[in-house]
Chains A and B, each alone.
Chain A
Amino acid sequence: MDTAPDALFKTLADPTRRAIFERLSRDGEQTVRALTDRAGVSQPAVSKHLAVLKLAGLVRDRREGRQTHYSAEPQALMPLINWMSLYGAFWRGRFDRLEDLLRRMDQ
């Protein structure tokens, strides 16, 4: 089925990652150092979050000398931004809950 929205949901479910992504969307390209100064977590932690965001296609990196610059790829959100994929994820979750309920119900 559509694994892309699931991966995007999971990637953006983390508040720190979401904050980094929002910052890149709003303010444009940034270095890891600049992001770390504002993120409130260590540079290795920021780098790890950026790697996850990159894997999900949400950010792009560009090396310039010793610095890596990151920018947002907001079009990667497209699979999320429609009712179809939202409801697809919604109903799969509800099917799981329905099965849990059936397990608990008397025959």
Chain B
Amino acid sequence: MTKPAGATRSIVIEREMPYPPEKIWRALTQGPLIEEWLMKNDFRPVVGLRFNFRAVPMPHWNGVVECQVLAVQPHERLSYSWNASGEEAAGGLKTVVTWTLRPTTGGTLVRMEQSGFRPEDEANYQGASYGWRRYIGGLERVAAGLD
């Protein structure tokens, strides 16, 4: 799941899905469809556009992700920044999410890479002895997503 990339690390998730790239591209780039599986958003596939993802706030997370569209290659590749916002922006996450679609015999290999996790992102949270408490409020929701 993780790999070293200079001073930062990435999460990579790949899954083959039995649908053509064109269909998956719609789900990745049309706002109302994105909302159904990811979060509320004002995304449009326009390079340079700044937009937000919005979720229900949790303790210590304001629920808003600051993004900017970095790359749009229809049916192949989509990339946007994924950064902490508001008061949490200063020391918070600064990452990039990149989707790539590769046709396979049975459908499409969907690959998501979230890159730019810095060592201090983890240190910030591992170091605080009480740090885990801030996540407990979100556990039920995350766990529901695991089933």
A contacts, CB < 8 Å to B: 1-2, 6, 9-10, 12-13, 18, 22, 74, 77-78, 80-84, 86-102, 105, 107
Distance to closest chain B CB from A91 (angstroms): 5
A98 touches B27 (CB 8 A): yes
A-B CB contact pairs (8 Å), 25 listed: A12-B136, A18-B139, A22-B136, A82-B121, A83-B117, A84-B1, A86-B135, A87-B11, A87-B114, A88-B13, A89-B142, A91-B11, A91-B13, A92-B13, A94-B37, A94-B38, A95-B13, A95-B112, A96-B145, A98-B27, A98-B38, A99-B17, A100-B37, A105-B26, A105-B33
Q: Which residues on B sit within 8 Å (CB–CB) of A82?
A: 121-122, 125-126
- Interface set, chain B 98-147, CB cutoff 8 A to A: 110, 112, 114, 117, 121-122, 125-126, 129, 131-132, 135-136, 139-140, 142-146
B146 touches A97 (CB 8 A): no
Q: Which residues on B sit within 8 Å (CB–CB) of A101?
A: 27, 33, 36-37
Other-chain contact of B142, A77, A84, A93, A98 (Cβ < 8 Å): A93
Q: Which residues on B sit within 8 Å (CB–CB) of A1?
A: 1
B contacts, CB < 8 Å to A: 1-2, 9, 11, 13, 15, 17, 19, 23-24, 26-27, 33, 36-38, 93, 110, 112, 114, 117, 121-122, 125-126, 129, 131-132, 135-136, 139-140, 142-146
Q: Which residues on B sit within 8 Å (CB–CB) of A9?
A: 139, 142-143, 146
Q: Look across to chain A and name the residue whose beta carbon is closest to the beta carbon of B135.
A: A80
| A24 CA to B129 CA, complexed, in Å | 14
Distance to closest chain B CB from A94 (angstroms): 6
Q: Which residues on A sit within 8 Å (CB–CB) of B136?
A: 12, 18, 22
Q: A101-B27, A101-B36, A102-B23 in contact; A90/B145 too (CB < 8 A)?
A: yes
| A84 CA to B131 CA, complexed, in Å | 15
Q: Look across to chain B and name the residue whose beta carbon is closest to the beta carbon of A95.
A: B15
Distance to closest chain A CB from B128 (angstroms): 8
| A91 CA to B10 CA, complexed, in Å | 12
Q: Which residues on A sit within 8 Å (CB–CB) of B143?
A: 9-10, 13
Q: Look across to chain A and name the residue whose beta carbon is closest to the beta carbon of B28.
A: A98
Q: Which residues on A sit within 8 Å (CB–CB) of B9?
A: 84
9 new A-B contacts at CB < 8 Å, known A13-B144, A97-B36, A105-B23: A1-B1, A12-B136, A80-B132, A80-B135, A84-B1, A88-B1, A98-B17, A102-B24, A105-B33
